[in-house]
Amino acid sequence: MMLSIAKRHILSACVLLAIALLVTTGVQAGDKVAYRLKWLRNVSVVGALYAEDQQLFAKAGLDVEVKAGGPERDAIRELELGYADFGEASADQVLRARAKGAPVVVIAQLFQVNPLQWMYRPEELGIGKLADLRGKVIGVTFGGNDETIMNTLLAEAGLGSSDVKIFSVRYDYTPFYRRQVQLWPVYRNAQGPIIEAQLAKAGEKTAFFNPADFGVKFVANCVVTSSRTVAERPELVKRFLAALLAGWQQALDPQNEETATQTLQKYDPDTPRQILQEQLQITRGLVQPEAGPAIGTIDSKGWEQTEGIMRAQKQLAGAVDLKAVLRPIGGGAE
């Protein structure tokens, strides 16, 4: 454990040193870069927001346009069209794209623990083992990666479709509030604290079912670019990634909590300050678990499991060469 902690600190120091050197030398100042986020500007992308607000990109000689994502925005597609230089995408998006021949590569992994989990009321049920899912009403987004993950969990438990009741969820949480659905998928760090607070006002307790606790790793958001950019502009890639990861490191540093909270409030003014701070705390544990690897480290074993899950569920026609996909810059896969 001590070695892991030391490794994390050394790598974190290397990131900051890289930024300092780049600022000092001032090489290639003003390079324009477009970075497409996976989702809206909220806590799930706080590192990029912090790097932008605190001028970390500018100090690295980069003019970065941080573009909000959303259901109509696909970072990988924009890489292919030349509308973005870097982007965020989940592992399933990357693997599907590679299977279709897209030259997208992963240069860093932002979340070590997938924030996608299921919320439930602990007084209604307990989940000590996967077999406890039998007979439950479980929400999934059909076509989403939560459906893929839940199907894997049920398969691991030896449960079939007749052993549970699957409920199609959308953005309306009413079926969960009305107890029509027992397990509801949420992003633990984003919607989780908000719904938890609302239920607490009604005197209800909540708990979260984390697939990783039962051995199912499904990699979440990563930083992607094209293989051409890595080959032709390696220094640009290094500078961008160093500044971005420094943003994540500083945003999640408890010493910078006030600055990070103010950054989030600019883009998410309707969420109470206390909730934003709770979101930050939870995000810290998902991005850099205690005694875990440095921020940005690619979990190669997690990728292998994710690729295997998708093939088992017929979401990939064949194996994807992960060595060609995972291209850690200045760090290295576990």
Over the stretch 24-69, which tens digit does the pLDDT of each residue have?
A: 444 445 899 999 999 889 999 999 999 999 999 999 999 999 999 8
User: pTM to 2 decimals?
Assistant: 0.87
pLDDT at position 12 is 53
- Starting at the earlier edge strand, list the strands of the sheet with 184-187: 184-187, 116-120, 207-209
**CA atoms in the 13 A half-sphere facing the CB of 274:** 3
Within 8 A by CB and 6+ apart from 75, the residues are: 36, 37, 38, 69, 84, 87, 88, 89, 224
Beta bridge partners of 224: 87, 106
pLDDT at position 315 is 86
Closest residue by Cα to residue 188 from 285, 265, 273: 285
Within 8 A by CB and 6+ apart from 89, the residues are: 38, 75, 76, 97, 104, 221, 222, 224
pLDDT at position 253 is 96
Per-residue pLDDT in tens (0 to 9) along the chain, 334 residues: 444 444 555 555 555 555 444 444 444 458 999 999 998 899 999 999 999 999 999 999 999 999 998 877 899 999 999 999 999 999 999 999 999 999 999 999 999 999 999 999 999 999 999 999 999 999 999 988 899 999 999 999 999 889 999 999 988 999 999 999 999 999 999 999 999 999 999 999 999 999 999 999 999 999 999 999 999 999 999 999 999 999 999 999 999 999 999 999 999 999 999 999 999 999 999 999 988 899 999 999 999 999 999 999 888 989 999 999 999 986 444 3
Closest residue by Cα to residue 202 from 178, 184, 186: 178
